[in-house]
């Protein structure tokens, strides 16, 4: 049997192999990341300091801003460092750390979007019992439960990824460590790992989507019964903001993780990854704040 070298370090291919594009890409991504930090921190600051925003809906929105800020910080600072220094080497420890936190924050956002949907259902369909049902104790417990559910999910994928060995190629065809790209260069049998992504990840995604969209059946029925147009448009504005975030989040992530054939990787997939790691964390707070009267008043 031919001797094979087991790699303990990997190299990230980055967004582009062309040296002339490294600095332009750096100056393209850097302001987006800085705006992401500033805008999400501003949303959190306003929710904490403005008493008019001390309601469950904005409590969950503040947590969404925190998750967007953290999920973006898992990959973007490393990408900026590689673009600026052209040093793309990453240790296995750093790589698996990225895998763990990426799955942790993504799973947390899936569950949080479902909880936000239930919050909207309670506020619209049961307004008289809203404060009683969505008390602060319940809200805190829901967020704590989200983190408790996301941790084993992320740990599960990371532990199975640690079993992979890399001896054929040491170049990860992405700007951060993603499981589909790690599977491509592993010399281990990745069938079980891929099935876990499809089955376990698919179950979490499907369950979250069902829990997200199911309350909207009752919400839309309640909205259509409203006779005051101003109230109806305000409710629709809040719901469409939430649904826009849901569609963008699930749509972009599913392209890379639930493709029929995960053995082939294309340059376009990198830009899809840019969408859910760089662009969406900036767009989410903008979508909510620019369409919300309470936020405009707070600003």
pLDDT at 292 (0 to 100)? 76
pLDDT at 1: 41
**Residue ranges of the domains in the chain?**
17-298
For residues 204-224, average pLDDT: 89
262 — pLDDT class (breaks 50, 70, 90): very low
Instruction: Report pLDDT for 158.
Output: 93
**pLDDT averaged over every residue in the chain:** 86
Question: How far apart (Å, rounded) are the C-alpha atoms in residues 286 and 280?
Answer: 10
Q: What is the mean pLDDT of residues 16-44?
A: 91
Residues 240 and 105: their CA atoms lie apart, in Å, by 23
pLDDT digits 0-9 by tens, 70-87: 999 999 999 999 999 888
**What are the backbone angles phi and psi of residue 29, rounded to the nearest 5°?**
-80, -40
Q: Which two tokens stand for residue 178?
A: 């993603």
Phi, psi of 131 (to 5 degrees): -65, -35
State the Cα–Cα distance between residues 299 and 146, nearest whole angstrom.
29
Helix spans in 188-228 (H): 191-224
pLDDT > 90? residue 34: yes
What CATH number labels 17-298? 1.20.1070.10
Q: What angle do CA 174, 180, 185 make, to 5 degrees?
A: 75
pLDDT of residue 268: 61
Q: What band does 201 get if pLDDT is binned at 50, 70 and 90?
A: confident
pLDDT (0 to 100) of residue 111: 95
159 Cβ contact list (under 8 Å, min separation 6): none
Six-digit token string for 53: 């925003």
The pLDDT of residue 94 is above 50: yes
- What is the distance between the alpha carbons of residues 169 and 255, in angstroms, rounded to a whole number? 24
Average pLDDT of 235-259? Answer: 80
């Amino acid at each position: 049997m031919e001797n094979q070298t087991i790699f303990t370090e990997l190299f990230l291919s980055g967004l582009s192999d062309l040296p002339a594009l490294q600095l332009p890409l750096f100056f393209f991504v850097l302001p987006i990341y800085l705006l992401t930090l500033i805008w999400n921190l501003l949303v959190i600051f306003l929710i904490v300091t403005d008493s008019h925003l001390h309601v469950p809906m904005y409590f969950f929105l503040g947590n969404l801003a925190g998750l967007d800020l953290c999920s973006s910080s898992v990959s973007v600072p490393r990408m900026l460092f590689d673009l600026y220094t052209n040093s793309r080497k990453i240790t296995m420890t750093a790589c698996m750390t990225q895998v763990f936190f990426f799955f942790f924050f993504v799973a947390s956002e899936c569950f949080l979007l479902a909880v936000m949907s239930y919050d909207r259902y309670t506020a619209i369909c049961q307004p008289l019992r809203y404060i009683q049902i969505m008390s602060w104790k319940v809200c805190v417990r829901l967020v704590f439960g989200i983190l408790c559910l996301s941790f084993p999910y992320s740990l599960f994928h990371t532990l199975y990824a640690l079993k992979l060995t890399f001896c054929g190629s040491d170049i990860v065809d992405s700007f951060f460590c993603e499981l589909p790209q790690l599977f491509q260069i592993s010399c281990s049998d990745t069938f079980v790992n891929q099935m876990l992504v499809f089955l376990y990840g698919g179950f979490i995604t499907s369950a979250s989507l069902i829990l997200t969209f199911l309350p909207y059946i009752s919400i839309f029925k309640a909205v259509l019964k409203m006779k005051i147009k101003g109230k109806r448009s305000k409710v629709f504005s809040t719901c469409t903001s939430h649904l826009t975030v849901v569609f963008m989040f699930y749509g972009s992530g599913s392209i890379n993780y639930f493709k029929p054939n995960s053995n082939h990787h294309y340059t376009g997939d990198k830009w899809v990854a840019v969408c859910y790691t760089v662009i969406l964390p900036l767009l989410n707070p903008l979508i909510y704040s620019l369409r919300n009267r309470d936020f405009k008043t707070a600003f």
